[in-house]
Structure 1
Amino acid sequence: MQFDAKNMELHNSGGVQYLTFPSFSTYSFVRHAFSTRAGGVSQNEFSSMNLGFGRGDSDENVLENYRRFCNAVGFNFNSLVSSAQDHHTNIRRVGKEHCGIGIWKPKDMQSVDGLITNEPGVTLVTHYADCVPIFLLDPVKHAVGLAHAGWRGTVARIASAAVEAMTREFGSRPQDMLAGIGPSIGPCCFEVDAPVRDAFAQLTDLNPQELIHDDGNGKFHIDLWETNRRILMRAGLKASSITVAEICTKCNSNLLFSHRATGGKRGGLAAFLALTEEAEA
């Protein structure tokens, strides 16, 4: 089956395949990407561009994958800063002094599911295999952010927390910001039990009845994409400034790692977002 990139562009650079949002690519001072499985050195269930440490693949393979990905897309390997995800809503501001953390330096914090920066030459990195990546760009203040929204983070409105953090730290105005909701498990495949349904039903300002489909057998399907889009709009972003990739990781598990499709036997994807040095000009 041919992969349908829908609202993102699929690129191939020396065998490394990655996805970008056209709306973000418009800005010359921003570099961003979302990884795929293609172009790395990992084997078996990690094949081949595994960017997740601690899943059973060797650290040497993962580091080599990061180097290959950075070389292909144009990121400086030494500029990477990783999150420390555990489905909370803490947003961390990072700068050049944090470069390497979580990649070639040990993690120095826990419970960091979002990263923001306004410093050029700092590449934010967050990690995925079905959860929702949220890319944020303020083209006026020259600031960027990434947030990892699993179902818990979605219900806790991490997207809004990231917008608020950029407003507080950089003076960003939500109406100026752009957002991209990246590849993740879609409403076609995100099946849950009643307790998760009940958590989403509490989001009464988002008209949750439109986000939850009752399968009639004690199971429910939930639209994480639309939930996060509505949360971003409630945070002040314009609807026209939000791009939803509409790419389901489970449906496309041949190209994208999916936790559900593999029963957890898989590698990891990553989102990358940076201001380039020319933003200083």
Structure 2
Amino acid sequence: MTEAVLIDFFGLKLNSQSNCVLLKTLNAVQYLHAAKAKFLCIMHCHNLTCENDSELEMINSLPILPVEFEVISNSSMAATLYTIKQKLDEKNLSSIKIMTTLQRKAQMKVFIDQLFTDVYHFEFEDLQLDLGESQIKESIELNTVTNQELEEIQNAIKTYLRSLPGLKGELTILTSSLIPVERGGKNTILNLWIFLSENTFIHGFTTRTGGISYLPTLSSFNLFSSTKRRDPKAVVQENLRRLAQAAGFDPEKFHRIKTDHANGVWIMGKKEPDSYDGITTNQRGVTIAALGADCIPLVFADPVKKACGVAHSGWKGTLLGVAMATVNALVAEYGCRLEDILVVMGPSVGPCCFTLPRDSAKAFYNIDPQCVRLVDSPDPYVDIRRATRILLERGGILPQNIQGDSKSDQNQHLDLCTSCHPDMFFSHVRDGINFGSQIGFILIRE
């Protein structure tokens, strides 16, 4: 069922004859969709560079309809569609019909691909106008998008998103005192410190503030896009650009893990697997990152061999040993010594909020009884952070070289429960399937 109808008047060169057609179109939309559709929208240009005022005059002269058409007016298509997307999201609508001319259909599809995800289902209907024979021929010829036009659309979207203010507070990066640091100057605009590890490493853990994601469970500094969520790649890329600018890395040299909730590790420079929960590298200027939204983002650094790694450790990955798999990769590939490797656990869900079915919890009880509370209940509480520390220590990492739990944290908020702190962190446990993601990241300075 069509939940929304968008009629594209954007930048049309209208005349008295086409005005008549458009009015008939509006009446037809009203008749066919007003009873069921929850959002009827006209989009048009209000830019002073529009070639004539007939578009605005025609819209202003529309008759009063039983169900009101909302008019979205902006100077750019990127701004117009992004505003419409916000309204669709407010109403939780996903089935959308777009009525546009053949001339604009291909370009419109590019904008849709950039600003929406597979959550939305679009149907296109030709907006039949008497454009004249030459314009019809031009429309047919222009029903594809050239590489130059594609680049122009992408740049227009990037420029618009870059202009948006950060939401929910200032961009904040948490860092660890474990990795030796030399403090640089304070960035008064973003109110954060940039830390350099012996002039070698830049690292940090993001929070949820300072980005442009506006959906409640993704707001505002979401750093992961999925076809199953409403935050498109373009928005996540803008959030990443802002992080890169604040932290001092190149967003074009950025690699996230491809989560499998297992123990696979990609050793950068070798063939990249289809999925993996750890990355190691000794390449300079390349940022590697582990996602986290209840799962632990782990950061590894060896200041001696100048190598680093990240891992995503959920409860399954913890039991499968992803933390030590990443350590072992550092040792095997770069000659790191266990006593030189530093490990920082980023914020994750705490034992106060995380439960597992009894059979799964028993695996943590077998690691250490203190990892489980109410072990005989149907859903015991599990401490994946304690389990991670224990497994790292058993693997040879020195206790003093692990940070990020109540045993080691020095008021740096690395041990905060993501579920308990909705103002600071995303959480799957708290927010459900449409959760946002923060990251832990590290790079070796060039």
d(CA) in 2 for partners of 1:214, 1:159: 26
Query: Secondary structure of the residue that 2:234 maps to in structure 1?
Result: helix
2:328 to 157, 160, 164: 164
Aligned to 2:309: 145
Aligned to 1:221: 381
1:43 correspondence with 2:214: yes
TM-score calculated relative to the size of structure 2 = 0.54
Please give the per-residue CA displacement for 1:59-81, whole angstroms capped at 9, x wherever unaligned: 11111111011111111111101
| CA drift at 1:15 | 2.2
1:53 to 214, 220, 225: 225
Kept in 2, the 8 Å contact 1:117–1:144? The answer is yes
Please give the per-residue CA displacement for 1:135-189, whole angstroms capped at 9, x wherever unaligned: 1111110100101110000011111111111000000011111111110001111
d(CA) in 2 for partners of 1:38, 1:25: 26
Aligned to 1:9: none
Aligned to 1:250: 419
Query: Secondary structure of the residue that 1:22 maps to in structure 2?
Result: coil
1:193 correspondence with 2:342: no
Aligned to 1:6: none
d(CA) in 1 for partners of 2:252, 2:377: 50
Please give the per-residue CA displacement for 1:253-280, whole angstroms capped at 9, x wherever unaligned: 2210000111222211111110001xxx
Please give the per-residue CA displacement for 1:183-207, whole angstroms capped at 9, x wherever unaligned: 000111111211211222343xxxx
d(CA) in 1 for partners of 2:218, 2:323: 29
Kept in 1, the 8 Å contact 2:264–2:277? The answer is yes
Kept in 1, the 8 Å contact 2:266–2:273? The answer is no
1:18 correspondence with 2:173: yes
2:245 to 71, 74, 78: 71
Counterparts in 2 of 1:26-41, with a 5 A limit?
26=181, 27=197, 28-41=199-212
d(CA) in 2 for partners of 1:189, 1:25: 32
Please give the per-residue CA displacement for 1:28-57, whole angstroms capped at 9, x wherever unaligned: 210011111111111122111110110321
Kept in 2, the 8 Å contact 1:88–1:111? The answer is no
Query: Secondary structure of the residue that 2:178 maps to in structure 1?
Result: helix
d(CA) in 1 for partners of 2:418, 2:372: 19
d(CA) in 2 for partners of 1:82, 1:210: 32
TM-score calculated relative to the size of structure 1 = 0.85
Query: Secondary structure of the residue that 2:179 maps to in structure 1?
Result: helix
Q: Which moved more, 1:165-174 or 1:50-59?
A: 50-59
Change (3 A) 1:25 1:72: farther
Q: Higher relative contact order at CA 8 Å, sep ≥6: structure 1 or structure 2?
A: 1
1:117 correspondence with 2:277: no
Query: Secondary structure of the residue that 2:213 maps to in structure 1?
Result: coil
d(CA) in 2 for partners of 1:143, 1:132: 20
Question: Unaligned stretches of 5+ in structure 1?
Answer: 1-13, 99-107
Q: Which moved more, 1:78-87 or 1:143-152?
A: 78-87
1:62 to 236, 248, 257: 236
- Code of the residue aligned with 1:38 in structure 2: it is T
Kept in 2, the 8 Å contact 1:94–1:115? The answer is yes
Kept in 1, the 8 Å contact 2:297–2:313? The answer is yes
Kept in 1, the 8 Å contact 2:296–2:314? The answer is yes
Aligned residues: 250
d(CA) in 2 for partners of 1:141, 1:217: 46
Q: Which runs of 4+ in 1 moved over 4 A?
A: none
Aligned to 1:266: 435
d(CA) in 1 for partners of 2:235, 2:382: 35
Identity level (%): 34
Q: Output the aligned Cα RMSD.
A: 1.7
Aligned to 1:238: 398
Kept in 2, the 8 Å contact 1:87–1:111? The answer is no
d(CA) in 2 for partners of 1:75, 1:38: 19
